[in-house]
A and B are shown apart, each in its own frame.
Chain A
């Protein structure tokens, strides 16, 4: 690609220094100790969901991978980052097979949340916030998505009371720099302009941990978190 006008190239460098000199924080979340064993869920009371799972699914309070890696950890910039605006794109939270998919979602304050029912049964979506208004809505099969927003940052526990095994989390953040660990426990926070940051890792059962990191240029800083498994 050839830049036809050198002025454009200069202007880009002046106006978007963040993109030109952006660092990355990446790492892995692991645990020590023995995590509580997750239990298989009996969906016998909801045959339309039970038949979607040839083998029963487990509870998801603590989901682990190979080499002691921990899943469903929200890693985000809790201080130092720009307090960016909410993205226009909505975040989708799906109910399928009487499970929340994914188990944890993260979204910006004020960002649209779409709750979708992909099941042949009614669900009630009941987030239990502390810093936001509490609501509770019924969603029968085939109903349009429920569209909601949360104005204040917090971790909100979500339940369906018709199917008491259904439990999930909304991580409402004041940043767009977040990553949720999946299989392998890895996370990446790209596009960080130079500066000092506080990185927070949150797990629904093991709590939060923070680490400070300084980005000076385009480097990738490695930050790992290790949670101590709760004994039950």
Chain B
């Protein structure tokens, strides 16, 4: 029977099949199981990380495969896994990001988002995506920027200038401790940085979800912060604030050199982590001396005492 069909008919069948194949992907886009889509076509959003240029259209497939499960198809942080996660996945439609080099309330740089992807977010379910090529990560950054109109209207904030780190001394640690007390970091992070300050239990993030202050004492040599692990990263975290959380920006209130002193003290709160700060503290007998304000500095205030405990 089959063989008796005229060859023209068989070619016709083949064309039909080919045609159906061409139509399939189009109809799949409208299939109900794919989930909601942004109604507008994708804006030609780009990201620029060094010499790499990311394109939103190239990041879409990877986003839908690897990111949408938690962050949602529309980027609103309500992916199907979100209900099981704490802390909740980031809502990209607000364009509020935790890890920035830019001032509080401003958009992060493309590099900031790129770094977050490669680093993952400690104490959350956001994994490390450093197996992706730089190009793929840049494409994802561009795609994430299509979820909020802010990326079309605003430029990223001016990145914070971080001065060169001065040498660690027992005096800089002592001054850092005085700042930790004076600026009331301990109200949330606790006198020993264990995340158990008097206000800790009441903290919620901007979506009214309970959130814990960072516990400096947890972790050993591998301990990381949400936004990095170097001294410069700590500097940026408290100067720019962690937007969307109770952690405010201190850029208006801490002078750059004072900020480095605070970084040095914060390192000593990581009691199980090997660091130059802990070495210097050990060499000084393991006790942070009271901070004595230099006479050259403006209004003399009593060194705060009592509230914050030692760095041990």
A-side interface residues toward B, CB under 8 Å? 45, 121-122, 124-126, 128, 130, 133-140, 143-144, 146, 161-164
Contact = CB atoms under 8 A, between A and B. Distances in A.
Given A126-B246, A138-B250, A162-B184, A133 B96 contact: yes
B5 to A, nearest CB: 65
Contacts of A126: 206, 246, 248
Interface of B: 94-96, 103-107, 150, 154, 182-184, 187-188, 198-199, 202-204, 206, 241, 243-250, 252-253
Contacts of A128: 206
Which of B154, B199, B206, B248 is packed against the most chain A CB atoms within 10 Å? B248
B248 A134 contact: no
Contact of A137 (B154, B187, B204, B241): B241
Question: Which of A125, A138, A143, A162 has the most chain B CB within a 10 Å cutoff?
Answer: A138
Contacts of B184: 121-122, 140, 162
Given A133-B150, A135-B243, A140-B182, A163 B199 contact: yes
Contacts of A137: 104, 241, 248-249, 252
A100 to B, nearest CB: 16
A122 B247 contact: no
CB-based closest 4 A-B pairs: A135-B105, A161-B246, A124-B248, A164-B202
Q: Is the interface of B mostly helix, strand, loop or mixed?
A: loop
Nearest to B157: A133
Contacts, number: 78
A112 to B, nearest CB: 15
A103 B77 CA distance: 32
Given A134-B206, A161-B188, A45 B199 contact: yes
Contacts of A163: 199
B258 to A, nearest CB: 12
A133 B182 CA distance: 29
Nearest to A147: B252
Nearest to B242: A136
Contacts of B182: 140
Given A140-B183, A161-B199, A164-B199, A134 B249 contact: no
B183 A136 contact: no
A161 B204 CA distance: 8
Contacts of A139: 252-253
A206 B246 CA distance: 27
14 contacts: A122-B183, A126-B248, A130-B94, A134-B94, A134-B105, A135-B243, A136-B243, A136-B245, A137-B104, A140-B182, A140-B253, A161-B199, A161-B203, A162-B187
A232 B247 CA distance: 32
Contacts of B249: 135-138
Contacts of A136: 104, 241, 243, 245-249
Contacts of A122: 183-184, 187
A161 B245 CA distance: 9
Given A139-B253, A140-B183, A134 B199 contact: no
Contact of B183 (A125, A135, A138, A164): A138
Contacts of A135: 103-105, 241, 243, 249
Contacts of B245: 136
Contacts of A130: 94
B107 to A, nearest CB: 8
B208 to A, nearest CB: 9
A122 B246 CA distance: 14
Nearest to B95: A133
A150 to B, nearest CB: 10
Contacts of A134: 94, 96, 105, 206, 243-244
B8 to A, nearest CB: 63
Contacts of A146: 252
A96 B124 CA distance: 36
Greatest chain B CB density within 10 A among A125, A130, A135, A143 is at A135
B305 to A, nearest CB: 16
Nearest to B245: A136
A144 B250 CA distance: 13
A124 B199 CA distance: 12
Contact of A162 (B95, B150, B199, B253): B199
Nearest to B104: A135
A124 B183 contact: no
Nearest to B238: A138
